[in-house]
Amino acid sequence: MKPAAMPAGLAGCVKAQKNIDYCYVGFQPHTFNFALANGQIMEYSKIYRFFVFFFGAFFIVSGIASASEHVLPPLEAQKLIEANKDNPQFIIIDLRTKAEFDDAHIEGAKLVPYYATNFKRIISQMDRESKILLYCQKGRQSPLALKALEKLRFSDMYILDGGFDEWINAGLPTAYTSF
């Protein structure tokens, strides 16, 4: 199928594919398409999604990789707690909600909900030299909290691997909030 009239300036353009009438070289701002070296045209949204996925995955994996250096299985976390029982600079931080904390928590833990609007303000008031054990319910919020603490220049931090769920599965002791 041959087009009736070709726009000015495109007279020498070669057909890139059967379904494409005109070949545009490079970026086409009016269509948000890119012409690739092999003659195919890729939509801007596909390229955008690719870069968002690629860089998103890169930053998530790099965050998890740095957090994995600080991860302790429940039994090792229990040993850390017992070894620092009399250490005033040892803090156990429960990142869960108040309702989850009230149901059960690790004895001696301080409630600082990760999703609270004042999370960073509360954390920033703590001593930077403290040894900190972070835990959440399943182990997803702890690496994020660790990153936030690293930005605030805390250095001696640990994460409970698998969160409070793994603590319970290991049969370790819990405390309850009295009403």
How far is Cα 117 from Cα 21, in angstroms, rounded to an integer? 55
pLDDT at residue 83, rounded to an integer = 95
Cβ proximity of 154 and 132 under 8 Å: yes
**Least confident segment among 30-39, 51-60, 136-145:** 30-39
Give per-residue pLDDT as tens, 11-26.
444 444 444 444 444 5
Single out the residue of 64, 77, 82 nearest to residue 157, CA to CA: 77
The CA-based angle 47-52-57, given to 5 degrees, is 130
- The tens digit of pLDDT for each residue in 55-86 reads 655 555 444 444 567 899 999 999 999 999 99
For tokens 């833990």, what's the residue?
A: 109
The stretch 126-146 carries a mean pLDDT of 95
- Per-residue pLDDT band at 139 (split at 50, 70, 90): very high
CATH for 73-169 is 3.40.250.10
Return all residues near 5 (Cβ < 8 A) that are at least 6 apart. none
Which residues belong to CATH 3.40.250.10 in the chain? 73-169
Residue 111 has pLDDT above 80, yes or no: yes
Q: Considering only 14-23, 25-34, 104-113, 125-134, which range has the smallest mean pLDDT?
A: 14-23
